[in-house]
Amino acid sequence: MKKLWLFAFISSALFAAPPSQPRLFSPIGPAISEAIDISPAPCNAACLERLLKEDKIFSFLARYKKSPETERFDADYQRWATFLNLAMPRIDGERIAVLASNKVGRYAVVVVNSVGAYLLSKGKPFEIRVFDSFDESQDNLERAIQEIESAGYVRALAVLTADGVKNAANLEPNIELYIPTVNRNELYSAPNNFFFGGIDYAKQLEALSHYANRFRIAIFDQPFALNQRITAAADAILPLPPSHITLTNPRVNYAQLFKTEKIGGGMSILLNTVPDRTSMVLSQLTFNDVRIASALSTQINYKPLLLTLPQSDDVKNLYIASAIGRTDMTLRDLNLLLRNDDLRFEWTAYAASALTDMISQRNKGDYSPRVGLFGLEMSNNQVQYPIKIYQIKNSRFVLAPPPPERPLNETLPPVPSEANGTVAGGSRRSY
């Protein structure tokens, strides 16, 4: 238990920021400690093993000396020395470079923690080095990439936005970049040495559309970049212009909103909103006795919060798409220990772990397109994620049954005359 507490404590200090600010890279480097051996007697392999069994970690670190006899303790030394930020001799092992900037905020922290969890799960010596580009300007990216190359890395995990990827592509770097935060389809073109792990929201929306009344649909969204990108993808897929409802006010009069937007009467809604707002919309539909054919959402709502906030009646017609597949239990536990969210629901951590697995494979000379640990494949420089559709039953995500053979709008009963009526396609309002 002491080990777990110490691990969690140190991971929380990796990135310093005031409590009221987002977690960003600190410009102040962490302090370096040193464990000093004050015992005159040598410590052989049996001695080191005894110290580990007795949880005398500082004594173990102080008395460890690299030699053929103590080689089997290299991983233990590397692990604990990393936790305690000790000055230590170089131990050959897995080396992963991460390119990131403060512009991507918490995503950089999530990715670095994911890399750490993945490498810790292997139980071997490793080194993670973060190269901070400060922002995504071409000049600063060029400086950071040159530093990565100078440090001897041939590939790096890059936490970038789509604009950052475009600027990096203009530099034509020699190293391979693995980008967990962007999907290949977000870019018109990309270099052959750029590999992507971002989610394909258009593909998720296409899968969800089979559960929707595609000809009578309203989109609830929020004024955030990701939400707006998903809304644009939905507009491109739907056969008729949907109604757009942007939620900006935390105190919305939902009864009036539903009446104004004519929500109900067998229509579908796309909830392109964060989980707490999604839960509010669903509960207000139930409270106001507004009946819809289905509520749909993408990966952004595949979160545990949605299992606890709404009531069972609120989510009975809710369908959520997710691309997260199988996960390793040890990897999940290590991510939680490093203060990431559950890997089964944290998309950025999952994508970063998959790409780290591929980097590790290629560092060993394995260039197969398969990402072994996760059962995924790389095609056209993009990780391909199978999409599954879930419903919520008994506070759990369960696989949804296959969609109806015919579109819902062909099988729905006629709209009663007292219903809210039909939605005005293509309207846009903010509330």
Tally of domains within the chain: 2
Residue 174 and residue 130 share a domain: yes
Residue 211 and residue 102 share a domain: no
Share of the chain above pLDDT 70, in %: 84
Residue 190 and residue 117 share a domain: yes
Residue 354 and residue 316 share a domain: no
Q: Given this model, what pLDDT does residue 76 score?
A: 85
Q: Given this model, what pLDDT does residue 3 score?
A: 40
Residue 397 and residue 331 share a domain: no
pTM of the model: 0.77
Q: How many CB atoms are located within 10 Å of the residue 428 CB?
A: 11
CATH number at residue 254: 3.40.50.2300
Residue 261 and residue 221 share a domain: yes
Calculate mean pLDDT across residues 168-179: 97
Confidence of residue 408 (pLDDT cuts 50, 70, 90): low
Note whether residue 42 is domain-resident. no
Pairing mode of beta strands 126-132, 94-100: parallel
Residue 141 and residue 269 share a domain: no
- Cβ atoms of 80 and 60 within 8 Å: the answer is yes
Note whether residue 87 is domain-resident. no
Report in angstroms the alpha-carbon separations of 407 from 261, 263, 403: 23, 19, 9
CA distance 296 to 205: 9
Please, how many CA atoms are within 13 Å of residue 151, restricted to the half-sphere of its CB?
20
Residue 271 and residue 298 share a domain: yes
Note whether residue 115 is domain-resident. yes
Confidence of residue 74 (pLDDT cuts 50, 70, 90): confident
Residue 406 and residue 366 share a domain: no
Question: Which domain does 128 fall in, by range?
Answer: 96-196+327-383
Last residue of a domain, one of 351, 366, 383: 383
Q: Given this model, what pLDDT does residue 382 score?
A: 97
Token pair recorded at residue 92: 């050959």
Note whether residue 306 is domain-resident. yes
Note whether residue 263 is domain-resident. yes
Note whether residue 120 is domain-resident. yes
Q: Given this model, what pLDDT does residue 328 score?
A: 87
Q: Which long-range contacts (CB under 8 A, 24 or more apart) does 135-143 make?
A: 135/101, 135/102, 135/103, 136/101, 136/103, 136/160, 136/161, 136/163, 136/164, 136/167, 137/167, 138/167, 138/170, 138/171, 140/101, 141/99, 141/167, 141/168, 141/171, 142/171
Note whether residue 83 is domain-resident. no
pLDDT tens-digit readout, 345-384: 999 999 999 999 999 999 988 888 887 788 899 999 999 9
Instruction: Tell me the H-state helices in 173-295.
Output: 201-208, 225-237, 254-260, 275-287
Q: Quickly tell me which residue has 């969800």 as its tokens.
A: 208
